[in-house]
Amino acid sequence: MNRRNFIRDTFGLAVLFLSGKEVLALPRMSKENDRSPRYGMGIYIKRCVGCGKCVEACKLENNVPKYPFFYRTWVERYTIYKDGEVEVETLDRSTKSPYSVEKREKQILRSFFVPKLCNQCDNPPCVQVCPVGATFKSPEGVILVDPDYCIGCRYCIQACPYGARYLHPEKRVADKCTFCYHRITKGLKPACVEVCPTHARVFGDLTKRSSPLVRFMRMNEIHVLKPGMNTEPKVFYANLDGEVR
Amino acid sequence: MVTPLKIWKKIPEQYRRLGILIIGGFLTVIFLREQFIPSDFGELGHYRTSALVNEKNKPLVYAGREKCEECHEEEVSKIENSYHKLLSCETCHGPGLKHAEGEGEIIIPRKREECLKCHEYIVSRPTGFPQVDPYLHNPPKQCTECHNPHDPTPPHPPTDCQVCHRTISSMKSISPHASLECTVCHKTPSHHKFDPRSQRPTKPTNTDVCERCHSETAKTPDYIPKIEVDSHSEGYLCWECHYPHSPEGG
Amino acid sequence: MEHLVEQLSSALQHITGFIYPNEIELHWSILIVVYPYITGLVAGAFILASLVKVFNVKDVAPTYRLSLLTALAFLLVAPLPLLAHLGHPARSIEIFLTPHLRTPM
């Protein structure tokens, strides 16, 4: 056997070996995607009253530590003054008593609440940077974390442009909003959508035309947070102000 | 005949040793990967499939309105025909799955602070959402004394527009138009107080309303600024420049 | 966890402007910074040693043994801060078992 044939055969074997798994996995992947729903969420900024019930419900449903440094979902309040200044604060009704007294109510141009959560991106930066494969996109498009496999390197927490992830202080693994995956796979709605008193949060399946989320997308002008990051988020905001970060 | 042993003897000593090391290393790696990588890794993607299953099996804490309806039909049907129809039971009563399955307590919020969490006046809240000033609105009475939470129709309809339209009203109250009632410019059907979205107040469509007080021929006191209607910004409506709830931009 | 809460609350006092609530905790802190410093030392010591043998610089010959030993010693120590920083150091073997090839790490 001469050198050329040897190299050719080794190369071929190596390619076959490495690609075998992918080639076998591909048909299965597409079959899975045809049948499974794709979940997303819509938020009406004009309806949110900033009561904080969604934050409370999420903490109870998912055992999130009760301190104000760890949130799976939170509500921000934007106040834009006439002189152009923008003030942003995060609300937490569980630890402090309600809002600070408006010092300059006369000078307010507009003010509103913005609920935020993990955007369950379709091109997620957090999944891309995980060194071990502990965070992944489920067949329904929901990004999940495997707490038994995560090594706690915190790369994904740094990678998220929306600040949606945190390190669980006791389990020492990364944690984030999962759209209440254990509820949605049983046909229920996520806890935050369930308790919202004004139905400001809309949850549904993007593949079905009859879902409330698709109706939401038809009836409103849709924005997403940080579109320039190319993350293709699946949480859509109606009437989102340009000042929202 | 070329046997493998002859080929083996022909390869120089160094390459032989290196070859053994490399092949040995290769085999060890394959063996270790076989042993230690979880068996369900890589089936659906670069993750363990059992993680998906574990996530699905987490315990539920909140029940959903349908579950409450199984036992509490009366309250649910009452609330569905009231102003609180968008609320889920657990919004106020807390997580209910344990209670629904018979083993837990459910919270019954009775204190004033609980209602104020949503209904306190905060400038960032959307206009039209019923809000009250907690210091002025019957302190320290409990809300439930006048409002039934499952049918919170107020004991008498709001007398003022400012109960729901707080921001506009507070802006107007420090402006020159403070003494004007809202109904002077906006014709409001009385049903608007019961079902706001079904019948809305009117908004003026021409300048007649403003001219009633501000035209030079109007019979109103002198301290009200008068203008010559014909020459003052012809072709424009008054509110295209002057915001009526704060006309001098204070 | 109490000390964590104290630490974070005091960090909250120093914030001016807005920060996403989950980002108040600084994640890649002193331990990760120490690692490139140590690897820098290793590289430097190794260069010093190679100057003697490879490039035949006689002037640094007395440091040859020390620099080579230093390079080896620090190399063995270098992964320790990285492991200490991890939430689950014992699972770090997973990086070699199931590496995710798309990540910059």
Please state the ipTM of this predicted complex.
Answer: 0.81
A124: confidence class by pLDDT, cuts 50, 70, 90: very high
List CB contacts of B120: < 8 A, sequence separation 6 or more.
A98, B131, B132, B134
CA nearest to B93 within chain A: A195
* pLDDT recorded at residue A30: 45
* pLDDT recorded at residue A138: 92
Cβ separation A131–C95 shorter than 8 A: yes
Tens of pLDDT, residue by residue over A131-171, are 988 999 999 999 999 999 999 999 999 999 999 999 998 88
Tell me how far apart the alpha carbons of residues A159 and A135 are, in angstroms, rounded to a whole number.
Answer: 12
Query: Residue A27 pLDDT > 50, yes or no?
Result: no
| Helix (H/G/I), strand (E/B), else coil: A83 | coil
For chain A positions 206-225, those within 8 Å of chain B (CB to CB) are: none
> What average pLDDT does this structure show over C35-42?
95
Cβ separation A146–B90 shorter than 8 A: no
**CA distance to partner chain C, nearest, from residue A10 (Å):** 22
Confidence (pTM): 0.78
Tell me how far apart the alpha carbons of residues A187 and C28 are, in angstroms, rounded to a whole number.
Answer: 39
Cβ separation B41–C93 shorter than 8 A: no
> What average pLDDT does this structure show over A16-38?
57
A22: confidence class by pLDDT, cuts 50, 70, 90: very low
Cβ separation B118–A61 shorter than 8 A: no
Tell me how far apart the alpha carbons of residues B60 and A175 are, in angstroms, rounded to a whole number.
Answer: 18
Q: List the end-to-end C-alpha distance of chain C, in Å, as a whole number.
A: 29
Query: Residue A28 pLDDT > 50, yes or no?
Result: no
> What average pLDDT does this structure show over B209-228?
85
**CA distance to partner chain B, nearest, from residue A227 (Å):** 25
Tell me how far apart the alpha carbons of residues C87 and C94 are, in angstroms, rounded to a whole number.
Answer: 13
Q: Which has more pLDDT, A96 or A4?
A: A4
For residue C85, the chain A residues in CB contact (below 8 A) are 153
* pLDDT recorded at residue B1: 64
| Residue % of chain B over a pLDDT of 90 | 5
Q: Which has more pLDDT, B33 or C46?
A: C46
> What average pLDDT does this structure show over C33-54?
92
| Residue % of chain C over a pLDDT of 90 | 34
Among B46, B118, B120, beta carbon nearest to A197:
B118
Tens of pLDDT, residue by residue over A200-243, are 999 999 999 899 999 999 999 999 999 999 999 999 999 898 88
| Residue % of chain A over a pLDDT of 90 | 56
Residues of C with CB under 8 A from a CB of A: 1, 4-5, 8, 18, 20-25, 27-28, 85-89, 91-92, 94-95, 98-100, 102-105
Cβ separation B57–A182 shorter than 8 A: yes
Tell me how far apart the alpha carbons of residues A105 and A87 are, in angstroms, rounded to a whole number.
Answer: 13
- Please report, to the nearest 10 degrees, the dihedral formed by the alpha carbons of residues B232, B234, B240, B244 taken in order: 40
Query: Residue A42 pLDDT > 90, yes or no?
Result: yes
Mean pLDDT over each residue of chain B, to the nearest integer: 84
**Helices (H) then strands (E): counts for chain C:** 5, 0
* pLDDT recorded at residue A103: 58
Q: Which has more pLDDT, A62 or C101?
A: A62
Tell me how far apart the alpha carbons of residues A34 and A18 are, in angstroms, rounded to a whole number.
Answer: 27
